[in-house]
């Protein structure tokens, strides 16, 4: 009878020892089951007049992909993404996949570019996508090269697939895996 109570305790002790010596383990979903979405939080508190556009850009990504979910940060928590309005050109400073700062620049808005497309595009950089210039309006990551008449805020199939692939792989490694990219659009 005592051996039954010792087996779970021994298993827990061995698991703890394995973590100490081998580092943390990252579980993978079986091949026939989808991976759970990784939550990436954003703080749009400094996005000024672009708050609704930022929220819509995040919602578009949430509608478009399954392996990552963008959520507003909860009060008192640190966000993965900080969104700031400024007078320059829109840009994203990525510190790692799913982390960084987005600047919604008024210069592009003053020139006539769509605020929701700008927001979705810049969030795309934080989600790991590069600029693809020149490009058609059907490519969200074509950015400003699609012209001011382009208001399409939706990623195309290839852009969606790339984010799904990156965040599917990200679920098997630590969220703080370094990768610094500076993108100016």
- Residues classed as catalytic: 122
86 vs 89: CA distance, rounded Å: 8
List, in order, residues 6 or more apart from 180 with CB less than 8 Å away: 94, 95, 96
| Distances 170 to 35, 68, 144, 158, 175 between C-alpha atoms, Å | 10, 10, 29, 18, 7
35 vs 72: CA distance, rounded Å: 22
128-150: buried (b, 16+ CB within 10 Å) or exposed (e) per residue?
A: bbebbeebeeebbbbbbbbeeeb
């Amino acid at each position: 009878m005592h051996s039954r109570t010792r087996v779970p305790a021994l298993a827990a002790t061995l698991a703890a020892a394995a973590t100490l010596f081998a580092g943390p383990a990252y579980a993978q979903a079986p091949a026939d089951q989808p991976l759970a979405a990784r939550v990436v939080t954003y703080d749009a508190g400094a996005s000024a007049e672009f708050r609704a556009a930022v929220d819509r850009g995040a919602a578009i990504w949430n509608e478009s992909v399954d392996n990552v979910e963008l959520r507003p940060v909860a009060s008192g928590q640190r966000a993965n993404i900080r969104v700031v309005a400024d007078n320059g050109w829109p840009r994203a400073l990525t510190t790692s996949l799913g982390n960084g700062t987005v600047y919604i620049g008024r210069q592009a808005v003053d020139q006539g570019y769509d605020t929701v497309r700008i927001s979705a595009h810049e969030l795309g950089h934080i989600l790991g996508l590069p600029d693809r210039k020149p490009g058609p309006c059907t490519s969200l990551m074509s950015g400003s090269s699609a012209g001011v008449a382009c208001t399409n805020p939706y990623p195309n199939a290839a852009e969606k697939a790339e984010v799904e692939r990156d965040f599917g792989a990200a679920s098997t490694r630590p969220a703080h895996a370094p990768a610094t990219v500076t993108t100016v659009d």
